Structure 1
Amino acid sequence: MGKVKSIMLNVWFILISSIGGYLFTLAGMSIGWMVGTLLFAGILSFWRPAFLKLGSGQKGAKNYWLLIGQFILGIELGQKINVSVLSTFKENWLTIAIMLLLSIIFSLLSGVVLWKLGKTDMLTSFFGTTPGGLSAMSGIAAEAGANTAVVSIIQLIRVFLVVGTIPMMVSFLSPGHSAQTAAMTEPASAVHQGMATQLTLTFILVLAALAGRYAAKLLRFPAPWLLGSMLGVAVIKPLTEALAGAPVFPWWPHWFIILSQIFIGACIGSRLNKGMFKGLARVFIVGLLGSICFIITMLGYAYLVSKVTGMNLITSILAFSPGGIAEMATTSVVLHADSTFVVAVQVLRVMTICLILPPLFGFLTHRIDKKKHATSYHVS
């Protein structure tokens, strides 16, 4: 009976928090469900009203809500890694590889600067400056034990800067298209697939995601529910398309990713406390300057790629901007840029960063903690 009551209290807390997500989407933010839910959950976490007590001794919402959110997000990202993405990488591998290397180097440098000047711990600094997406990085940081308040704020600063400036800037570069809207319609071939077929495909993807999660846990990947599910779906979806001889479209409604954002936002927000926000003014300033430098660096690289390769400037800017996949992809459709290339680069950036950097951060943190322990032992 106690478990049922705990689940109901968690559901009630998440529902109340999701009101913030809905209000933020009214402002036109595609990631508003996550941002608004996180904000409202944080307010409720500080306020702690009697009717929203999650249980005695419980610090925030139960962790399985975060894992469910990561699992859904992993399946969503995995579906974006298709044959066209891989062929795009094959055709432009050097350009994309340099961009990925620049992203990793700059995120490490920004993390070191934030660590030294922002007075935060190293793990939190690195997760905050990594351009892997707000949902992914905040979720992985929560599992790794980083300060999720700082990570979420630094990630939000970059997302707001990119989403608030890049689409507007490229709209000026593409006169005549800025007022158009993109209708995200379902592919025609998906209409001819029966609901039973689509549900079967969804079931196959979920099984693949579970298998990927199991493999990721065995291999000691960070955030196995996110990375494992993403890789499992990325492997199985092209195989099913190869067997079918045509693109396949599982039943995967848009509200699934909304649920993912709500679960992740509510869980992270529910764990916020006053101690996390000490010295945040310094962190905000350093994070803001770091994000501006990062964006300018990637814009410069996008311009250079456009000049050297002859690639459309708008396509290059949207592909290499350190923003979200959904935001940059939608803008590319509206402005008639090469949306396949934009999605390919953005997905590959997220996938590469999520696979390489979290284990590296953990290794560096472990090494530094070990040195500190050894130093303190010799001193004593």
Structure 2
Amino acid sequence: MQNLKLMLQNVPLLTITSLGGLLLYTTGISIAWLLGSLFTASIISLFLKPGGKASRTNKGIHPYWRQIGQAILGIQLGQNLHFSSLNIFEDHFILISLMLLMSIAVALLSGMMLWHFSKASMITCLFGTTPGGMSAMPAIAEEAGANALVVSLIQTIRILFVIGTVPFIAGKVNNQLHINLPGSNHSYLEFFPLLWTFLLIIGSIIGVEMGKRLKLPAPWLVGSMIGASISQLFITYFYMNDASPFWPHIIVILAQVMIGASIGFQVKKEMFRGLGRIIYGGLATSFLMVTIMGSCSIWISKITQIPLVTCILAFAPGGIAEMASTSMALNADSTFVVTVQSLRLIAVLIIMPAMLKFISLQAPIKTDQ
């Protein structure tokens, strides 16, 4: 009940940030609702200090809003599951694995460059440039002795840079700016759309709970997607047709607003004080990572015949939820995008903490600002 009261206090803020999404939507820009909400929330967070009890720890709006948004996207992605995506991954497993290793290597290179350029310690810079998620990496970094605030800043800069540039690049490549909605094929369940939607939600909830217990990356998104996918495949198998749940487009818009606002409200003024070199270095390394991975995506697309827009989003150094939203907005293969992004995140969270700690112990000591 207390959490519900705190969440309701955030409704006015979410309404205001959604106006930014609406404004950007009128320009025809892809993933406008997420980007517009994010930029509006960032401005509010920087200048109006929307903290207070409603944000619990003065770090933005209640985290449940972002989790709900991710769960909604998970259901949306689960409805779009196609075995062709999994077949593509199986057919090109070696190349995709090499690309994932390449992205980790580029992150390490970027961290070394940032370390030499800034006054932060090596372990802080390495954790900051590693694409392991805005929520996961700062927590792991703090346990390893890094400056969690600086790590959060670098991670935020990279995510903002990626979702501020990659959707535009991918949109130009794809030349499509409309949302990819689930098909409305006729089926036996068309007479029971609300029942089918209820089954999807139940599958999503079960998937989220299993994702938490199995410690999956972004369990609210990945677990929800898996649970909804299993439900989708189950009903499709028995009725030999695609189901048509009640899933209006407004639900996806709300999810994008929730996720965009949650990210934007994490931006704080104190993150920028006395960190000029970190900010410039973070922007430079983000540009380097996007450029290298974008170039590699072109090469992978030519070899595998996977659509270029799908490759760009799958290997971009962004977050799972953000790239998933973009893939749906651009009609890319969202299942493939989420699968590749999830595998990289799993690899990062398993391999990188120990590797980064070992590297930092071998490096000269440099104290954080």
Is the TM-score greater than 0.5?
yes
Map of 1:353 onto structure 2: 344
Deviation readout 1:14-53 (Å, 9 max, x if unpaired): 2122222222333333333223223322333344479x85
Indicate yes or no: 2:311 matched with 1:319.
yes
Q: Does the CA-based 8 Å contact 1:139-1:264 persist in structure 2? A: no
CA distance in 2, matches of 1:154, 1:9: 29
Q: CA 1:55–1:328 in 2, change beyond 3 Å: closer, same or farther?
A: closer
Q: CA 1:101–1:277 in 2, change beyond 3 Å: closer, same or farther?
A: same
Q: Does the CA-based 8 Å contact 2:158-2:282 persist in structure 1? A: yes
Q: CA 1:193–1:290 in 2, change beyond 3 Å: closer, same or farther?
A: farther
Indicate yes or no: 2:285 matched with 1:290.
yes
Map of 1:210 onto structure 2: 205
Among 263, 270, 274, the residue aligned to 1:275:
270
Q: Does the CA-based 8 Å contact 1:241-1:248 persist in structure 2? A: yes
Q: Does the CA-based 8 Å contact 2:7-2:65 persist in structure 1? A: no
Q: CA 1:28–1:116 in 2, change beyond 3 Å: closer, same or farther?
A: farther
Among 143, 154, 157, the residue aligned to 2:158:
154
**Cα drift, residue 141 of structure 1:** 5.9
Map of 1:378 onto structure 2: none
Q: CA 1:244–1:30 in 2, change beyond 3 Å: closer, same or farther?
A: same
Map of 1:24 onto structure 2: 24
Map of 1:174 onto structure 2: none
> Mean alpha-carbon deviation: is it higher for 95-104 or for 9-18?
95-104
Q: CA 1:142–1:31 in 2, change beyond 3 Å: closer, same or farther?
A: farther
CA distance in 2, matches of 1:236, 1:319: 27
The 5-angstrom pairing of residues 1-380 of structure 1 reads: 6-48=6-48, 54=53, 59=58, 60-114=60-114, 117-118=117-118, 126=127, 130=131, 137-138=133-134, 147=149, 148-165=152-169, 167-168=171-172, 170=173, 187=183, 189=185, 191-192=186-187, 194-305=189-300, 311=305, 315-316=307-308, 318-320=310-312, 322-323=315-316, 324-325=323-324, 327=326, 343=334, 345-360=336-351
Q: CA 1:304–1:207 in 2, change beyond 3 Å: closer, same or farther?
A: same
Q: CA 1:45–1:284 in 2, change beyond 3 Å: closer, same or farther?
A: closer
Q: Extract unaligned runs of 5+ from structure 1.
A: 172-177, 334-338, 376-380
> What is the aligned-residue identity percentage?
29
Q: Extract unaligned runs of 5+ from structure 2.
A: 143-147, 317-322
Name the TM-score, length of structure 1 as normaliser.
Answer: 0.71
Query: Across the two proteins, how many residue pairs are aligned to each other?
Result: 346
Q: CA 1:11–1:162 in 2, change beyond 3 Å: closer, same or farther?
A: closer
Q: Name the SS of the counterpart of 2:215 in structure 1.
A: coil
Q: Does the CA-based 8 Å contact 1:45-1:269 persist in structure 2? A: yes
Q: Name the SS of the counterpart of 2:30 in structure 1.
A: coil
Q: Name the SS of the counterpart of 2:10 in structure 1.
A: helix
Q: CA 1:317–1:95 in 2, change beyond 3 Å: closer, same or farther?
A: farther
Q: CA 1:283–1:72 in 2, change beyond 3 Å: closer, same or farther?
A: farther
CA distance in 2, matches of 1:251, 1:83: 23
The letter for the 2-side match of 1:12 is P
CA distance in 1, matches of 2:163, 2:118: 19
Q: CA 1:277–1:56 in 2, change beyond 3 Å: closer, same or farther?
A: closer
**Cα drift, residue 85 of structure 1:** 0.9
Map of 1:175 onto structure 2: none
Pick the structure with greater CA Rg.
Answer: 1
Q: Name the SS of the counterpart of 2:192 in structure 1.
A: helix
Q: Over the residues paired in the alignment, what is the CA RMSD in angstroms?
A: 4.1
CA distance in 1, matches of 2:178, 2:42: 34
Q: Does the CA-based 8 Å contact 1:124-1:141 persist in structure 2? A: no
**Cα drift, residue 182 of structure 1:** 6.8
Q: CA 1:165–1:183 in 2, change beyond 3 Å: closer, same or farther?
A: closer
The letter for the 1-side match of 2:62 is K
**Cα drift, residue 128 of structure 1:** 5.4
Q: CA 1:223–1:305 in 2, change beyond 3 Å: closer, same or farther?
A: closer
